[in-house]
Amino acid sequence: MQDPPVVAVVGATGAAGGTLLRVLEDRIFPIGDFRAFASARGAGTLVRFRDHDVVVAEVDEAGLDGADIVFFAAGAATSRRFAPVVARRGGVAVDKSSAYRMDPEVPLVVPEVNAAALTGHQGIVANPNCVTIPLTVVLAPLHARYGLRHVTVATYQAASGGGRALAAELASQERDDAYGRPPRREVYPHVLHGNVVPGGWPMVGDDTEEESKVIAEVRRVLDLAALPIAVTTVRVPVAVGHSAAVWIEFDQPIAADDARQLLDDSPGVLVVDDPATQQYPTPRAVAGSDEVHVGRIRADVSRENALALFLSADNLRKGAATNAVQVAELLLERPL
Ligand SMILES: NC(=O)c1ccc[n+]([C@@H]2O[C@H](COP(=O)([O-])OP(=O)(O)OC[C@H]3O[C@@H](n4cnc5c(N)ncnc54)[C@H](OP(=O)(O)O)[C@@H]3O)[C@@H](O)[C@H]2O)c1
């Protein structure tokens, strides 16, 4: 690996890839040479990076030659095609897609939770999805102290989690509604503006694909293969910021104040929890930040040893780009 490394972003014109550029800038990630890729559609687009206009190229094997760290945010098919090329040539693919998340040969990493899983990687590192990341950041310290017995999750997921097309569709529906026009709908099965939609993902049996991903990925990241976890994923008309209401049953008795203190001391978590003064996590407040905001921490009085809480995280930053850049920072600290 060159020092500083040659870095590439595949999917640089997209919602997650565009945020990767901002996070690489914000965290002053060391970069020798920088390359931006997309499909033939986005080739020729200019993206702004470190005060320069960078021309986006169509991704191909030649373009990835000599790249040390390649961030993939262009969907699973593109990762499957090009991440092994990067790995074979001695670089590392840091993948935001779902392609390798359940591959036992590929670590699935949330740096605050299981950084040790990176050891022995073989040139591809997977990142969990944008709900799993904040959920595991919050569940891991609670599990370490009190032992998870059962987790129930209901999500409130932003339009940008569905990519730039759904984010743009929500924005245009807001304008349509404001001007009294019928809201147009092209990329999503329902009008999202003014709505709450418990679907829109492909189905896997009776679960949405998102629900089955979150269940499998949470178990893998926490290394709790049999964790009982129930998830309902819901899309809400919010631009950026995924939230979740979470109910957790523990092996040990747990007091809300102790949980609050433990989470306050945990990496990547910001406790925002004074409901009497209207302080709790909201997607609007968390957008643009790298922490997971947690609040409404209270006893779930319907069960023994149980808590309820609410969390929000920026799906494009900690849910995607920030986690990937943190992984890359760990890779630089450790020799390949
Ligand atoms: N959005 C989130 O909150 C989020 C969070 C976690 C993970 N992710 C993951 O990140 C990936 C991208 O999602 P997104 O939300 O950023 O989607 P998006 O806004 O639709 O962007 C997709 C990006 O991928 C590029 N692309 C599409 N097909 C390609 C191909 N065949 N070859 C090369 N580039 C291609 C697009 O380039 P063109 O300009 O050429 O179309 C664009 O840059 C997905 O795997 C998603 O699961 C997203």
Enclosing domain of residue 309: 132-158+198-233+240-315
How many structural domains is the chain composed of? Answer: 2
Say how far residue 111 (Cα) sits from the centre of its chain: 12
Q: Tell me: do 148 and 284 sit in the same domain.
A: yes
Tens-place pLDDT, residues 235-287: 999 999 999 999 999 999 999 999 999 999 999 999 999 999 999 999 999 99
292 pocket-lining for ligand 1 (C-beta < 6 Å) = no
321 pocket-lining for ligand 1 (C-beta < 6 Å) = no
| Cα→Cα distances 176→194, 235, 237, Å | 12, 19, 14
| Distance between start and end Cα atoms, the chain | 8
- Do the domain assignments include residue 172? no
121 is catalytic: no
* Residues 249, 135: Cα–Cα separation, whole Å: 15
Candidates 143, 193, 242, 293; catalytic one: 242
- The pLDDT value recorded for residue 2 is 83
Q: Tell me: do 302 and 208 sit in the same domain.
A: yes
- Do the domain assignments include residue 272? yes
Q: Taking the C-alpha atoms of 277, 279, 282 and 285 in order, what is their torsion angle to the nearest 10 degrees? A: 110
Task: Please classify residue 219 by burial: count the beta carbons closer than 10 Å to its beta carbon, then call 0-12 exposed, 13-18 middle and 19+ buried.
Answer: middle
193 is catalytic: no
* Pocket residue to mutate for ligand 1, from 20, 22, 39, 64, most atoms within 8 A of Cβ: 39
* Residues 115, 326: Cα–Cα separation, whole Å: 10
* Residues 327, 329: Cα–Cα separation, whole Å: 5
Q: Tell me: do 217 and 301 sit in the same domain.
A: yes
Sign of the alpha-carbon torsion through 14, 220, 330, 241: positive
Give the pair of three-digit tokens for residue 95: 């993948």
When pLDDT is averaged across residues 84-102 and rounded to a whole number, the result is: 98
Q: Tell me: do 262 and 139 sit in the same domain.
A: yes
- Do the domain assignments include residue 167? no
Residue keyed to tokens 């000599």: 66
DSSP string, 81-99: HHHHHHHHTT-EEEE-SST
- Do the domain assignments include residue 262? yes
- Do the domain assignments include residue 302? yes
- The number of the ligand 1 atom at minimal distance from the alpha carbon of 315 is 3
Q: Tell me: do 76 and 101 sit in the same domain.
A: yes
User: Whole-model pTM above 0.95?
Assistant: yes
- The pLDDT value recorded for residue 70 is 98
Q: Tell me: do 225 and 114 sit in the same domain.
A: no
8 pocket-lining for ligand 1 (C-beta < 6 Å) = no
Q: Tell me: do 273 and 146 sit in the same domain.
A: yes
Report the nearest-CA residue for atom 20 of ligand 1. Answer: 163
127 pocket-lining for ligand 1 (C-beta < 6 Å) = no
237 pocket-lining for ligand 1 (C-beta < 6 Å) = no
Closest among 297, 190, 173, 170 to 241, alpha carbons compared: 170
Report the nearest-CA residue for atom 46 of ligand 1. Answer: 97
Reported in sequence order, the residue ranges of 109-171 that DSSP labels E, i.e. its strands, are: 124-126, 148-156
Closest among 151, 137, 168, 194 to 326, alpha carbons compared: 137
- The pLDDT value recorded for residue 216 is 98
Q: Tell me: do 154 and 286 sit in the same domain.
A: yes
Tens-place pLDDT, residues 200-222: 999 999 999 999 999 999 999 99
CATH of the domain at 41: 3.40.50.720
Candidates 130, 143, 193, 293; catalytic one: 130
Q: Tell me: do 83 and 146 sit in the same domain.
A: no
- Do the domain assignments include residue 147? yes
316 pocket-lining for ligand 1 (C-beta < 6 Å) = yes
Give kind and range of the element (H or E) at residue 119: none
Residue 154 alpha carbon to ligand 1 centre in Å: 25
- The pLDDT value recorded for residue 1 is 82
- Do the domain assignments include residue 49? yes
CATH of the domain at 273: 3.30.360.10
Q: What percent of the chain has pLDDT over 90?
A: 98
DSSP string, 287-314: TT-SSEEEEEEEE-TTSTTEEEEEEEE-
Closest among 128, 162, 121, 154 to 320, alpha carbons compared: 128
* Residues 137, 286: Cα–Cα separation, whole Å: 15
What's the mean pLDDT when you consider all of the chain?
Answer: 97
Closest among 57, 21, 23, 60 to 38, alpha carbons compared: 57
91 pocket-lining for ligand 1 (C-beta < 6 Å) = no
When pLDDT is averaged across residues 124-143 and rounded to a whole number, the result is: 98
Neighbours of 237 (CB within 10 A): 16
Contact by Cβ (8 Å): 284, 313: no
When pLDDT is averaged across residues 22-36 and rounded to a whole number, the result is: 98
Tens-place pLDDT, residues 160-213: 999 999 999 999 999 999 999 999 999 999 999 999 999 999 999 999 999 999
Residue 75 alpha carbon to ligand 1 centre in Å: 5
Q: Tell me: do 147 and 273 sit in the same domain.
A: yes
Q: Tell me: do 324 and 307 sit in the same domain.
A: no
φ and ψ of 255, to 5 deg: -100, 140
Report the nearest-CA residue for atom 47 of ligand 1. Answer: 97
| Cα→Cα distances 262→258, 314, 319, Å | 6, 22, 22
Residue 176 alpha carbon to ligand 1 centre in Å: 26
* Pocket residue to mutate for ligand 1, from 21, 35, 41, 71, most atoms within 8 A of Cβ: 41
Report the nearest-CA residue for atom 33 of ligand 1. Answer: 39
Task: Report DSSP state, residue 184.
Answer: P
319 pocket-lining for ligand 1 (C-beta < 6 Å) = yes
Q: Tell me: do 209 and 139 sit in the same domain.
A: yes
Residue keyed to tokens 């709900």: 131
- Do the domain assignments include residue 45? yes
pLDDT of 336 higher than 60: no
